[in-house]
Amino acid sequence: MRDMTATDLSSRHVKAEEAARLGVASGWYTTKLSGTFVSGPHATEQEAALKIAELRPPPVAKRKF
């Protein structure tokens, strides 16, 4: 089984109808590929993208020998 990492995050908008069904506030959410909410709601898609960037670890530099 593969671990979910910050690189597996995406953003999606939850409209009012779906939000009421799920019991959450309407807005932009950061989600795992499985659909699990990680953070939110965010006011804009850009705010959700910033959260993804914040959670995503920086790439590891490869060492040359």
Taking the whole predicted model, whether its pTM rises above 0.95 is answered as: no
Question: How far apart are the C-alpha atoms of 23 and 56, rounded to whole Å?
Answer: 27
- The series of mean pLDDT values per 10 residues for the chain, 65 residues long, is 61 96 97 93 96 82 76
Give yes or no for a contact between 33 and 4, defined as CB atoms under 8 angstroms apart. Answer: yes
What are the domain boundaries of the chain?
6-55
